[in-house]
Amino acid sequence: MHKLSESVEGKIGRLEFRTSPEAYRHWSIAIDGSVARLVLAVDEHSPAAPGYELKLNSYDIGVDIELCDAIQRLRFEHPGVKTVVISSGIQGTFCAGANIRMLGTSSHSHKVNFCKFTNETRNAIEDASHYSGQTYMAALNGTAAGGGYELALATEYLMLIDDGNAAVSLPEVPLLAVLPATGGLTRVVDKRKVRRDLADVFCTLEEGMKGKRAVEWRLIDEIVPRSKFDACVTSKALELAALSDRPDGEAGITLDRLERSEKGDEIRYPFVTVHLDRDRRNVILEIEAPDRDAPTDVSGIKRQGVDFWPLAVVRAMDDAILHLRFNEPMLGTLIIRTSGDGDRVAAYDTLLDANRNDWFVREILLYMQRVYKRLDVTSRTTFAFVEQGSCFVGMLADLLFAVDRSYMLNGQLDDRLPARIQLSELNFGVLRMANGLTRLETRFLGEKESLDNARGLIGRKLEALQALEAGLITHAPDDIDWDDEIRLLLEERASFSPDALTGMEANLRFAGPETMETKIFGRLSAWQNWIFQRPNAAGSEGALKLYGTGKRAKYNRGRV
């Protein structure tokens, strides 16, 4: 069960993101050869906070924490699973979506972060289907409404039971005065290719759509009579499994509970330490280089399992980012530092690149990509400080291009070697942003010569002025000015409006092409953030507050 404690954020207290199948309250996993069944049967009496019941397979953050964990485990622990079928364990209902009582009583910040997390989890489903050879399909054995249909939309094949009652719907606009918050609008038109005018009709139908018409409009892929449903689901799952390149007969890597200890304002993980500075409202996330040499081959990587340094680091970063996002909203600046032997980091980096086609290495790199994306969309100012003893090499160097600004020491504050950074092949194709580009491609948008020059620097240990000339860092203060420059930077940032910074940073981070993913995190998140605060939705006479009371919401009819 997820541990909670009261906080200033209201009923939702301190969230814990570490869980495992034996602690699940809402999901179960059953594996039969190449097919896994992920079954949602929500315990309505186990919400993440008091004050509502999770009826009709509706979900809250606790349900989605389990789903996120299950997706991750299926990828790492079960390499032989090639198709994942999501279905419901409750007769007649697939999923009613996000719990409306929860949305009506939660703080604004929790609603926004909840929607962001559910979007990241849905994207992880698509990531598994597109890049891991583990395809998801939805067996809709009952009605899928709102977020329930959005969950199904994240899969690659939607099969709806034809029982005269089951339907799919996105009723948020007519019923709740908000938007489908986990990408429903975007996936309907961008992924399912539903015609815009038909999508407009569908998204204003409270009752949704079923049967042959739902197939014709591409809202689902197939309708199946109840008597044939289970057999057809199994047949389709096996058909999808036959297309996978995941290995047969290989053992998975058990995701043991992530180690974490807390003492005062310090949180420690393997190779990652988080320092909380509440007075200055900032956080330092320090990543340590490996404490031993890299294995020589893939078998050595697999023997180390979760202790393999790159995997240990991204697991720790993932938990730290989520902890800060939900549990430390007042700490608005995130500073990334590294320390340790850069040559060791380079050796691990080379090992990953050389074996990227192995299923386990592929999963590590894809996980790293997802965690870096989570950093990209986190509403924090992000800085990186490159100092003596840093190890921003390869995979860690990519963090320099993820942050809003990077500062590198030009000179020496002590007798150690000067600060250095080093690029690798992983910076030029493996770790991509939501816009489909690498961070260096995004950084040098319209500057092909700068990108080509950066590629020519792979493997070189660059000191501050060399990195500055190549455009790889923002500033390079000398040893005399370093402390004052950093102090003034942090004081200035802390003086600005957090709201304005969130908007500015989010707009600047995603240059380049718009994708379905950037639409979800940019366009959708911005509008939903605003709509969640509007009286038409959240006011005392708004739709979220009055839903289920029999009273009609009273809207301010002005268009803004």
pLDDT in tens, 75-87: 999 999 999 999 9
Residue 3 predicted with pLDDT over 70: no
pLDDT bracket for residue 6 (50, 70, 90): very low
- Please give the pLDDT value at position 548: 87
- Residue 251 located in a structural domain: no
The 10 Å Cβ neighbour count of residue 335 is: 22
Same domain as 162, residue 43: yes
Same domain as 235, residue 333: no
Which parts of 42-183 fold into alpha helices (H)? 61-77, 100-105, 108-131, 147-153, 172-176
Same domain as 369, residue 304: yes
Q: DSSP string of 204-242?
A: T-TT-B-HHHHHHTTSSSEEEEHHHHHHHHHHHHHHHHT
Of the chain, the percentage scoring pLDDT greater than 70 comes to 98
176-214 pLDDT per residue, tens: 999 998 899 999 999 999 999 999 999 999 999 999 999
Residue 454 predicted with pLDDT over 90: yes
Residue 9 predicted with pLDDT over 90: no
For residue 549, CA distances in Å to 180, 329, 463 come to: 21, 33, 65
- Residue 14 located in a structural domain: no
Joined tokens for residue 263: 């003492």
Same domain as 314, residue 168: no
- Residue 10 located in a structural domain: no
Residue 342 predicted with pLDDT over 80: yes
Mean pLDDT within 308-320: 98
Contact status, residue 236 vs residue 157, Cβ threshold 8 Å:
yes
CATH code, domain with 361: 3.90.226.10
Residue 73 predicted with pLDDT over 60: yes
- Please give the pLDDT value at position 13: 76
- State which residues form the domain around 426: 261-501
Same domain as 497, residue 514: no
The 10 Å Cβ neighbour count of residue 163 is: 17
For the CA atoms of 219, 224, 229, 231, what is the dihedral angle to 10 degrees?
-110
Residue 5 predicted with pLDDT over 90: no
Residue 320 predicted with pLDDT over 90: yes
**Least confident among 358-362, 431-435, 528-532:** 528-532
Q: How many domains does the chain have?
A: 3
Same domain as 541, residue 491: no
Its pTM stands at: 0.95
Please say which residue of 189, 212, 241 terminates a domain: 241
Q: What is the mean pLDDT of the chain?
A: 95
Same domain as 316, residue 224: no
Residue 8 predicted with pLDDT over 50: no
- Residue 72 located in a structural domain: yes
- Residue 316 located in a structural domain: yes
- Please give the pLDDT value at position 2: 40
